[in-house]
């Protein structure tokens, strides 16, 4: 393969601070400061893994982060699947998601890899697959 992973994913949020704090508490992400990105735009970088981050934007008048629809009706990016570094890391993240009310902890058997679904503070769905041993 010619690629080495994902560098960043740009998403629109209702509140960069709240979303940053969620990722810091649940995933131990490195959260940068909010900054002006242009007229009516605030941006924050959230490093979720080595070499991978979320570029989060709040844009005045943009209501996309409030629009939540059923799976497969959410647009070009339906949900994020984040990879836990290990099985112990998966268990830690799973417990934090449950404690924060972002997920119920239920493990599903979709496809070949079991996983847990959760919702971030904006209501965007994420999936956390159980790492293979």
Give tens-digit pLDDT for 53-105: 999 999 999 988 888 777 777 777 888 999 999 999 999 999 999 999 999 99
Model pLDDT, residue 68: 78
Residue 72 lies in a domain: no
Q: Give the chain's domain count.
A: 1
The pTM (predicted TM-score) of the whole model is 0.90
Q: Residue 93 belongs to a domain with what CATH number?
A: 3.10.180.10
Flag whether 2 is in a domain. no
pLDDT of residue 53: 96
Residue 1 falls inside a structural domain: no
Per the domain annotation, does 26 fall within a domain? Answer: yes
Can you give the length of the chain in residues?
Answer: 133
H/E run at residue 128: strand 125-129
Range of the domain at 13: 8-60+79-129
Whether 110 shows a pLDDT value over 80: the answer reads: no
């Amino acid at each position: 393969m010619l690629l080495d992973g994902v560098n960043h994913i740009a998403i629109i949020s209702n509140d960069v601070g709240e979303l940053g704090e969620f990722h810091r508490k649940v995933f131990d992400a490195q959260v940068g400061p909010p900054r002006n990105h242009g007229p009516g735009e605030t941006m924050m970088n959230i490093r979720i893994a080595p070499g991978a981050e979320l570029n989060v934007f709040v844009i005045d008048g943009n209501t996309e982060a409030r629009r939540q629809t059923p799976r497969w009706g959410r647009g070009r990016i339906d949900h994020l699947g984040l990879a836990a570094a290990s099985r112990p890391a998966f268990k830690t993240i799973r417990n934090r998601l449950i404690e924060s009310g972002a997920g119920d902890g239920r493990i599903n058997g979709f496809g070949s890899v079991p996983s847990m679904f959760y919702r971030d503070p904006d209501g965007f769905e994420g999936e956390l697959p159980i790492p293979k041993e």
